Amino acid sequence: MFWNIILKVLSKVWLFINNIFRSLDNIQNSGYSARKLTGLACVLMGSYITKYKLPQDAQLHALYAWLVAALIALGIITMEHVIKLRAENKTKEL
């Protein structure tokens, strides 16, 4: 029973690694989406850098920046949305 669980876990890990390498192909429906991989990399790298490399007072703002980069990579927000939001904030301040 223990070895069955180990084999199932190893097969899932192998499938994950295989799909990451299949993502580099230009074949449709092969592997994972490049946007999703970029978003995942932004979140993972950002959380690591924020937690272990930055001082305590800068961590929250850095985490916001990494999450915005992930949202842009996923296409949830676009640069047009960011520009409009900044323009609206500047007009409200005046």
- pLDDT tens digits along 32-88: 777 878 888 888 888 898 889 989 998 889 888 888 888 888 888 887 887 888 888
- Distance, in Å, from the CA atom of 54 to the CA atom of 42, rounded to the nearest integer, reads 16
- Distance, in Å, from the CA atom of 39 to the CA atom of 66, rounded to the nearest integer, reads 9
Q: What is the predicted pLDDT for the residue at 35?
A: 80
Q: What is the predicted pLDDT for the residue at 42?
A: 84
Domain boundaries, the chain: 32-93
Do 23 and 30 contact (CB within 8 A), yes or no?
yes
Q: Is 31 helix (H, G, I), strand (E, B) or coil?
A: coil
Instruction: Output the pTM of the full model.
Output: 0.58
